[in-house]
Amino acid sequence: MYVAVKGGEAAIASAHRLLAEARRGDPAVPEIGVDQIAGQLALLVDRVMTEGSLHDRDLAALALKQARGDLIEAVFLVRAYRTTLPRFGASEPLDTGAMRLARRVSATYKDLPGGQVLGPTFDYTHRLIDFALAAEGASEPAAQAEPAPDAARAPRVTDLLGQDGLIEASPPDEGAPVGDLTREPLDFPAERDLRLQALARGDEGFVLALAYSTQRGYGRTHPFVGEIRVGEVEVEFVPEELGFAVPLGRLAVTECQTVNQFHGSAAEAPRFTRGYGLAFGHSERKAMAMALVDRALRADELGEAGGAPAQDQEFVLAHCDALQATGFVEHLKLPHYVDFQAELELVRRMRAEHAEATQEAAE
Amino acid sequence: MTPRVRVPETGYNFAYLDEATKRMIRRALLKAVAIPGYQVPFAAREMPMPYGWGTGGVQVTAAILGRNDVLKVIDQGSDDTTNAVSIRAFFARTAGVAVTTRTRDATVIQTRHRIPEAPLAEGQVLVYQVPIPEPLRFLEPRETETRQLHALAEYGPMHVKLYEDIARHGHIATTYAYPVEVAGRYVMDPSPTPKFDNPKMDDCPALQLFGAGREKRIYAVPPYTRVRSLDFEDHPFRVQHFDRPCALCGAGDVYLDEVLTDDAGGRMFVCSDTDHCEARREAGHRGEGA
Amino acid sequence: MALARGFADPVHDAQGAFRAMLDALARPGLVQALPAALAPPAPLTSELAAIALALADADAPVWLDGPLAEAPEVEEFLRFHTGARLVADPAEAAFALVADPEACPDFSAFAQGSPAYPDRSTTLVLAVRHLAAGEGLAFEGPGIRGRVRLGVAPLPAGFAARWSANHALFPRGIDLLLAAPGRVAGLPRTARLLEA
């Protein structure tokens, strides 16, 4: 029995020791290094950073090691650490147009200024298990890098469309403070900044499934991938005492902009609309799914018929966070015997009354 | 910037939370006591324990706790269930406060699912862990709607739901998390305590604070406040009654856990409140199974 | 001139002040000890300063009444120790510090909260000279066992009518903290003033 009348303390201590042992695995096998995780399970680390809302590769790698590879547990560790960090302020908006590109593809134009750059992608691999990778020491020949495009000559596709007024303008930066759902409780209806933050932190699987549902008719948005770009951007910050922006360093991010279903009216010429996704590191699936759901959540704003799950912001935002979901689902394994006792007692009483009534009817 | 007073063992601030977070929670708490039963939104932080395992209660406790407090933590009425042990250890470690299992010795009691059997006293604070703070949530899943219902004190649907139970089962089928009306205004979820405990909330000398971390709400019942369980003239509120006393201490007016003793239907009923049971046994009370 | 010091022990002094305020608002009309060993610039009292330092910050704007707003050292002290925005419009304030209660603006000038969010209302902190339980105005309501009497001076002009109007707004309305040397009492909007 795991809840003895006494002994919870000793049981927890033993469970922690067992966990440490299980984490280490076979001591005859060398222990995995945090640098190996950061370097060789890089996409997993990117996902932990994205859903953990904290850009720190080494910390995310360590969290994965501590969590025995459990993704949500690793996100949990990173978030709990993040919550205690002091906050110095908000950076300047990232200029993804000036990204140092590692990958850049567009599904709307065959060729475009700056070109298409495949970069490191699984897209055109055959998914055949490569048994050579199981043999240690096997090394691939060095890659012949594609010529990196010059960022200045690779403008965002949405900017190109915008020049002709074919797509709605990006909302102007009015310098209004950007919401932060980790500092203010989410209130409904939530503005787009908060929705995007929630989606960026949201569970990739959940956001992916919602995005998929919009493609199957539950809130169609007719998306095209205008562009996916992966690479490094500079982060700048304006310290109060200086009054001008200073660079803090570079971040790797993935950005996806979709070009969606057009809108127009008698008063307004038709034009395409946008969906937006952004994630840390190389997180293409997440960025795409996020852009589709972002667009679906704009149904109200754009006067579209609502009612699909992906268009329902209370449904999406209240359930997309993996930590909230896993915590509440898993809390069912905590003892509930007090409440169960209350139900037991009621069911017994009702059964007794039912038996009495049946007997009376029979007599 | 406020310097951090580091508890040497952990490297974290006193009671884990940083001072800015504590201020935010404290401001919410002051409004919560000023508007009894109203759910104050607060920016709940991500805690080092999972959502649904007491993060709201932990944040409230961390925000009120001082170094002279004596903390008791219970889950299902017991001080020794795993989650109670874990939360008590968390505060012993991060705040270095004294801990106790004795209800009367505690200044702050954090609880999940029970109110202690021993009457609470003035000066004590009872902190409830709350999973779903919105009593209307299962009638209306949308926050925008439920907020309006509270604003208009439109509690008809809740009464209808309870009455439907009576029509269907002959009883109100809600046995825990039984809704209450606080100070004649707000309908409030008492957290999933069995309704057996509802009468203890009424006119209670202790301050009752409620924290829901995942749902980001704080609410409160000040001491000596009217807390009425919703009911009907023809179906007045009634608590469960056990037709036998505790097998260990013989107490007859307490909430009991049913413990299965074998696989042949053998069972015994013992106090859910372990401290209450122990105190009675120390005082010489014996039940039939002792 | 050197800036007056803040809390000697920021963590525990803030906690102590907060618990006094929590007890004050949870038990309306009872007087709680508020140890405040600050020496803020006049006319800010040690107790007003302790309450501000315990609760105000960048997320909780503060409004100052005439005598406080006219003292630049007070502004400087509060800005430095709390980082709070000092607002000119009382309706924007989370906390209002009032050194001269008799001249306190009408309660309706402060944030009252809305029916959906009654918590978004100002807490007024009045510096009073006299604060004693068991005498003076009689109140009933949540947190009060039976009824309670509280003697306060000075109070805003026409207090009885103004307080009853505030109470009638429930669940909207402002809340009061009354701070005398070393002591604090609270009157949340739920406290019903009984006829004299």
Q: DSSP per residue over C91-148, as a string? A: GG-SEEEES-GGGPPPGGGS-B--SS-TTSBPEEEEE-SEEEEEEEEEEESTT-SS-E
Q: How many CA atoms lie within 13 A of B259 on its CB side?
A: 16
Beta bridge partner(s), residue A233: A251
pLDDT for position B9: 55
Flag if B183 and C119 touch (Cβ within 8 Å). no
Residues of B with CB below 8 A from C142's CB? 36, 182-183, 221-222, 224-226
The answer to whether C14 contacts chain B (CB < 8 Å) is yes
The helix (run of H) or strand (run of E) holding residue A19 is helix A8-24
pLDDT tens, residue by residue, B150-201:
999 999 999 998 998 888 888 888 899 999 999 999 999 999 999 999 999 9
For residue C102, count other CB atoms closer than 10 A to its CB.
12
Using CA atoms, how far apart are residues B256 and B242, in angstroms rounded to an integer?
Answer: 7
Nearest chain A Cα to B191, which residue? Answer: A339
- Token pair listed for C44: 């800010």
Q: What is the dihedral of CA B160, B164, B166, B171, to 10 degrees?
A: -100
Using CA atoms, how far apart are residues B22 and B5, in angstroms rounded to an integer?
Answer: 14
The band of B275, judged by pLDDT with boundaries at 50, 70 and 90, is very high
Residue C115 pLDDT > 90: yes
Active site residue B271: yes
Residue C40 pLDDT > 90: yes
Flag if C116 and B150 touch (Cβ within 8 Å). yes
Residue B10 pLDDT > 70: no
Residue C127 pLDDT > 60: yes
The sign of the torsion formed by the CA atoms of B224, B226, B228, B232 equals positive
Using CA atoms, how far apart are residues B36 and C143, in angstroms rounded to an integer?
Answer: 9
Domain edges within chain B: 19-229, 241-290
- Which phi and psi angles does A76 have, rounded to 5°? -60, -50
Number of domains in chain A: 3
Minimal C-alpha gap between B42 and chain A (Å) = 6
Using CA atoms, how far apart are residues C21 and B227, in angstroms rounded to an integer?
Answer: 23
Lowest-confidence region among A150-154, B43-47, B86-90: A150-154
pLDDT tens string, chain A, 363 residues long: the values are 233 346 678 888 899 999 999 999 999 999 999 999 999 999 999 999 999 999 999 999 999 999 999 999 999 999 999 998 888 888 999 999 999 999 999 998 888 888 888 899 998 888 888 888 887 765 666 666 666 666 567 889 888 888 888 898 888 878 788 899 998 899 999 999 999 999 999 999 999 999 999 998 899 888 999 999 999 999 999 887 788 999 999 999 999 999 998 777 777 788 899 999 999 999 999 999 999 999 999 999 888 888 899 999 999 999 999 999 999 999 999 989 899 999 999 999 999 999 999 998 888
Using CA atoms, how far apart are residues A195 and A182, in angstroms rounded to an integer?
Answer: 12
Using CA atoms, how far apart are residues C81 and C40, in angstroms rounded to an integer?
Answer: 11
Active site residue B204: no
Residue B266 pLDDT > 90: no
Using CA atoms, how far apart are residues C157 and C162, in angstroms rounded to an integer?
Answer: 9
Please indicate whether residue A304 or residue B219 has the higher confidence score (pLDDT).
Answer: B219
Which residues of A, range 315-344, sit inside 8 Å of B by Cβ?
318, 323-324, 326-331, 334-339, 341-344
Beta bridge partner(s), residue C123: C95, C175
Nearest chain B Cα to A336, which residue? Answer: B76
SS3 content of chain C, % helix, strand, coil (to 5): 30, 25, 45
Using CA atoms, how far apart are residues C172 and C162, in angstroms rounded to an integer?
Answer: 14
A209 and A162 share one domain: yes
Assigned domain for A265 exists = yes
Beta-strand pair B227-229/B256-260: unpaired
Assigned domain for A151 exists = yes
Vertex B203 angle, CA B200 and B209, to 5°? 70
The answer to whether C88 contacts chain B (CB < 8 Å) is no
Nearest chain C Cα to B143, which residue? Answer: C116
Q: Give the contacts of B43 (CB within 8 A, at least 6 positions apart).
A: A181, A182, A183, A184, A185, B24, B216
Which residue, among A328, A342, A348, A8, has the nearest Cα to B272 in the 3D structure? A342
Please report the number of interchain residue pairs, chain B to chain C, with beta-carbon separation below 8 angstroms.
120
Please indicate whether residue B206 or residue A153 has the higher confidence score (pLDDT).
Answer: B206
The DSSP string of B173-225 is ---BS--EEETTTEEE---S-BGGGHHHHTT-SSEEEEEETTTTEEEEE-SS-
For residue C21, count other CB atoms closer than 10 A to its CB.
27
Please indicate whether residue B267 or residue A73 has the higher confidence score (pLDDT).
Answer: A73
The answer to whether B145 contacts chain A (CB < 8 Å) is no
Which residue, among A320, A250, A248, A258, has the nearest Cα to A288 in the 3D structure? A258
Using CA atoms, how far apart are residues C82 and C52, in angstroms rounded to an integer?
Answer: 7
Using CA atoms, how far apart are residues A86 and C25, in angstroms rounded to an integer?
Answer: 31
Flag if B33 and C26 touch (Cβ within 8 Å). yes
Residue B98 pLDDT > 80: yes
Please indicate whether residue A306 or residue B219 has the higher confidence score (pLDDT).
Answer: B219
Which residue, among A314, A98, A102, has the nearest Cα to A195 in the 3D structure? A314
For residue B122, count other CB atoms closer than 10 A to its CB.
14
Which residue, among B236, B249, B253, has the nearest Cα to B280 in the 3D structure? B249
**Average pLDDT in the C77-105 region?**
96
pLDDT for position A110: 82
Domain edges within chain C: 10-180
pLDDT for position A5: 46
> What number of residues does chain B have?
290
Contact B278, B286 (CB under 8 A): no
The band of B34, judged by pLDDT with boundaries at 50, 70 and 90, is very high
Using CA atoms, how far apart are residues B112 and B238, in angstroms rounded to an integer?
Answer: 22
pLDDT for position C87: 96
Residues above pLDDT 90, as percent of chain B: 77
For chain C, list the contacting chains (3+ Cβ pairs, <8 Å): B
pLDDT for position A138: 57
Of the partner residues B42, B76, B169, the one whose CB lies closest to the CB of residue A337:
B76
A289 and A183 share one domain: yes
Contact C28, C187 (CB under 8 A): yes
Residue C188 pLDDT > 90: yes
A110 and A26 share one domain: no
Using CA atoms, how far apart are residues B131 and B110, in angstroms rounded to an integer?
Answer: 14
The SS3 of residue A150 is: coil
Which residue, among A111, A344, A187, A159, has the nearest Cα to A259 in the 3D structure? A159
Question: What fold, for C10-180?
Answer: Rossmann fold (3.40.50)
The band of C99, judged by pLDDT with boundaries at 50, 70 and 90, is very high
The position carrying tokens 């961390």 is B62
Domain with A343, as residue range(s), is 334-362
A316 and A358 share one domain: no
CATH of domain B19-229: 3.40.50.11310
- Which phi and psi angles does C27 have, rounded to 5°? -125, 75
Using CA atoms, how far apart are residues A241 and A88, in angstroms rounded to an integer?
Answer: 12
Residue B267 pLDDT > 50: yes
User: Is the omega angle on the peptide bond into residue A30 within 30 degrees of 0, that is, cis?
Assistant: no
Beta-strand pair B125-129/B207-212: parallel
pLDDT for position B3: 41
Please indicate whether residue A349 or residue C111 has the higher confidence score (pLDDT).
Answer: C111
